[in-house]
Structure 1
């Protein structure tokens, strides 16, 4: 069974809407800057991939505003964009034939912390009744399902940065189990003061203050990553279903997926990332020679970058495959990072060009990778491997490739395309 990606919706720090995001990515336009939501001058980390000038009320019904965290608003808009991009009219399809699977790492951080503050300062009667679900990891799946009348199989996966790829892999499994269309991906946001402190506590964030030198995957000067917000939602569907509803385009096929866990800390056994990649490639029926590019996890932490470079070299050999980290322009988006990388990989396949790894100017020779830096690299791309790792040892890999017999949707001018506020589903 061929599982196609027929629509993509993006809410990213360097662009809302697929075409705007892709134009910015190829142009090297970064969404990383000093965090502006509150005063970060006294914090150990100050840079973030922040989505600025986002007016959720311009895109969503008024009734949703008091019951949603900012991350859910990003997810709802990304879902709307994906459905529009894929020309999916949910009202014309059977409700139980459409499912939703999302990844989530943070839940509704900003919403719940605001309500906790009300509880402690004003008492329980001041707390919103929507606190009962707005904080929850599954809320994006639920809200997208309700808004679009998608009553089929629904799930939420929590695995930090790897969770977004896990959501896509689980959506593929869901389709094979009988739900012909699934809206899948991930979106996260934790840029409120409490969420910010929680991220700093990991010890993995950069202390740099120059937005252009903060997040440097595989660079000799790498010293931590920049966190961000947003992500991507994808329309996945069985090829036969896509044809039956009159779909004209498909960006590509989700050909392989796998996930693994690392051994416990202190073990002499290697990371499970290599095994995840090899299992995903085997699932897709391709070997190392069949992969044209790797969209790497690129943690920007020397030890983590070294471990990932070891895994890539073990599979492909010394400088054996082009490697890129487009998230260097957005920051690490947790569950949103993997689906956004899938979107970039599919557009690379469509357009025959690999985006550069922004910021990285001095790739460490010790990693021995063919890292795409400086400028986008043109050349044919038919199959790509996307990697992601999460805290506590999660590893995930997805293989995407050109869909035989399908034409990818051509690029449009990079303008914001979104659905109107009106919602046909109560």
Structure 2
């Protein structure tokens, strides 16, 4: 996997190829391989990878009325929320007071990922650990509360933590401080595509000599301000029925339902993992990105040629032929013209017989970068368990969207999975994860 991700924190810019580099671990950086050794899921599907896996296998919808604020005045009133989440189980009171729910979800997902990988919460070698997460909208609920305080309160002030809690890099900074991860940290800003870009950036950090990197992302786009911003794109579903509101690729598709949460991963140098006696879930084998160069509006549908280019780049860099892909997890926006465009891109890459396609976003909502990270978590669990969860929200494929959708879960060999994501305003990304070496 080569190439510099878009919008990286301390190392912005892109390069098409990464030559041999020498880092703290020594040796040839281009030959280092990165495996995912820990998964932390905090999503409407559940807290923890096991809870998420059981939910998606059973096809249990977690879409319901928004409870984080009163949505009565809005045409879109449904979302996927993380039920029963208590931030104080994962962070102390000071950290919770100073940060937004989006970061609280990140605290939880990171702790779960580190525990799953068998790594300490406090780094034994701070400069050997890094954080590179994706972000989209920042600390919405915190910012909403403080701005209302500014407008309505007699003091006309905001709290001292407004700037750092709403800031798009808040989760990266807070996790770096919380766990004392002092390696090369950064934040990726590419909307939904950022959840995949963060994995690419993590692999680059591993190849440059940082043995352990936290990647992925969480999101909480559920506040009056955040919902209003999303409504401007004209892509939100206004269907009041939770079971029918979000239906990608279906003849009844009418937009997406927002969701919160996501997943955080431990991306680790394969040699470092082997030295600890850990095999991991899968190898991050390839990544590709492209851009449509067009603003997302009520007429846009995404450029299938550029999206296909990102997928081909990921496959080429992974050394994987299209016929070797066992499953695709698509972006699945649920907007008819976008769904047709995505199906066209898949056919351009895989021909007339694409591999099985499955999506679980209709169960949990679209959580921007958290949603694409959650797709990666589902792909990893599918590889681990040898099962693919069924496609959610699909009864009858719309014209132009006739793909090989997974209709029922069942045992099957899964060695290679491709995850695709398209961020608003033209971002396209794809990641290939492959069953790791023994």
After TM superposition, the score normalised by the length of structure 1 is 0.91
Q: Are 1:391 and 2:424 an aligned pair? A: yes
Report the 3-state secondary structure (helix = DSSP H, G, I; strand = E; otherwise coil) of the residue aligned with 1:211. coil
Q: Give 2:226's aligned residue.
A: 195
Cα distance in 2 for partners of 1:63, 1:398 equals 37
Q: 1:11 aligns with which of 34, 39, 42?
A: 42
Q: Give 2:306's aligned residue.
A: 272
Task: Report if the CA contact (8 A) 2:90-2:111 is conserved.
Answer: no
For each residue in 1:106-149, what CA deviation from the matched residue of structure 2 results, as whole angstroms up to 9, or x when unmatched?
A: 10011111111111222567421111211011111001111101
Shift of 1:188: 0.7
Stretches (4+) displaced over 3 A: 123-126, 263-271
Shift of 1:320: 2.5
Q: Give 1:129's aligned residue.
A: 160
Report the 3-state secondary structure (helix = DSSP H, G, I; strand = E; otherwise coil) of the residue aligned with 1:164. helix
Cα distance in 2 for partners of 1:250, 1:53 equals 29
Q: Give 1:64's aligned residue.
A: 95
Q: Which stretch shows the higher mean deviation, 311-320 or 210-219?
A: 311-320
Q: Are 1:222 and 2:248 an aligned pair? A: no
Q: Are 1:333 and 2:336 an aligned pair? A: no
Q: 1:252 aligns with which of 282, 287, 309?
A: 282
Q: Which stretch shows the higher mean deviation, 29-38 or 211-220?
A: 29-38
Where structure 2 has 5 or more consecutive residues not aligned to the other structure, the ranges are 1-31
Structure 1 segment 303-382 matched on structure 2, within 5 A: 303-373=337-407, 375-382=408-415
Alignment CA distance shift 1:92-1:136 (3 Å)? closer
Q: Are 1:51 and 2:82 an aligned pair? A: yes
Where structure 1 has 5 or more consecutive residues not aligned to the other structure, the ranges are 406-426
Q: Give 2:240's aligned residue.
A: 209
For each residue in 1:292-350, what CA deviation from the matched residue of structure 2 results, as whole angstroms up to 9, or x when unmatched?
A: 11001111001101111001011112243100112221111101011111110011111
Task: Report if the CA contact (8 A) 2:123-2:180 is conserved.
Answer: no
Alignment CA distance shift 1:192-1:263 (3 Å)? closer
Shift of 1:170: 0.7
For each residue in 1:69-111, what CA deviation from the matched residue of structure 2 results, as whole angstroms up to 9, or x when unmatched?
A: 0000000100000000101014463100100001011100111
Report the 3-state secondary structure (helix = DSSP H, G, I; strand = E; otherwise coil) of the residue aligned with 2:199. helix
Q: Which stretch shows the higher mean deviation, 29-38 or 121-130?
A: 121-130
Alignment CA distance shift 1:91-1:109 (3 Å)? closer
Q: Are 1:94 and 2:125 an aligned pair? A: yes
Q: Which stretch shows the higher mean deviation, 316-325 or 393-402?
A: 316-325
Report the 3-state secondary structure (helix = DSSP H, G, I; strand = E; otherwise coil) of the residue aligned with 1:19. helix
How many residue pairs match? The answer is: 403
Q: Give 2:115's aligned residue.
A: 84
Q: Give 2:178's aligned residue.
A: 147
Q: Which stretch shows the higher mean deviation, 68-77 or 90-99?
A: 90-99
Cα distance in 1 for partners of 2:129, 2:332 equals 33
Alignment CA distance shift 1:322-1:267 (3 Å)? closer
Shift of 1:4: 0.4
Report the 3-state secondary structure (helix = DSSP H, G, I; strand = E; otherwise coil) of the residue aligned with 2:102. helix
For each residue in 1:210-250, what CA deviation from the matched residue of structure 2 results, as whole angstroms up to 9, or x when unmatched?
A: 11111101101101001100000000011111123x14230
Aligned alpha-carbon RMSD (Å): 1.7
Task: Report if the CA contact (8 A) 1:162-1:389 is conserved.
Answer: yes
Q: Give 1:286's aligned residue.
A: 320
Cα distance in 2 for partners of 1:10, 1:296 equals 19
Task: Report if the CA contact (8 A) 1:87-1:247 is conserved.
Answer: no
Cα distance in 2 for partners of 1:84, 1:268 equals 39
Report the 3-state secondary structure (helix = DSSP H, G, I; strand = E; otherwise coil) of the residue aligned with 2:287. strand
Cα distance in 2 for partners of 1:317, 1:279 equals 16
Task: Report if the CA contact (8 A) 2:387-2:410 is conserved.
Answer: yes
Q: Give 1:234's aligned residue.
A: 265
Q: Are 1:28 and 2:62 an aligned pair? A: no
After TM superposition, the score normalised by the length of structure 2 is 0.89
Report the 3-state secondary structure (helix = DSSP H, G, I; strand = E; otherwise coil) of the residue aligned with 1:212. coil
Alignment CA distance shift 1:399-1:268 (3 Å)? closer
Task: Report if the CA contact (8 A) 2:123-2:179 is conserved.
Answer: no
Report the 3-state secondary structure (helix = DSSP H, G, I; strand = E; otherwise coil) of the residue aligned with 2:357. strand
Task: Report if the CA contact (8 A) 1:199-1:205 is conserved.
Answer: yes
Cα distance in 2 for partners of 1:320, 1:156 equals 33
Task: Report if the CA contact (8 A) 1:4-1:253 is conserved.
Answer: yes
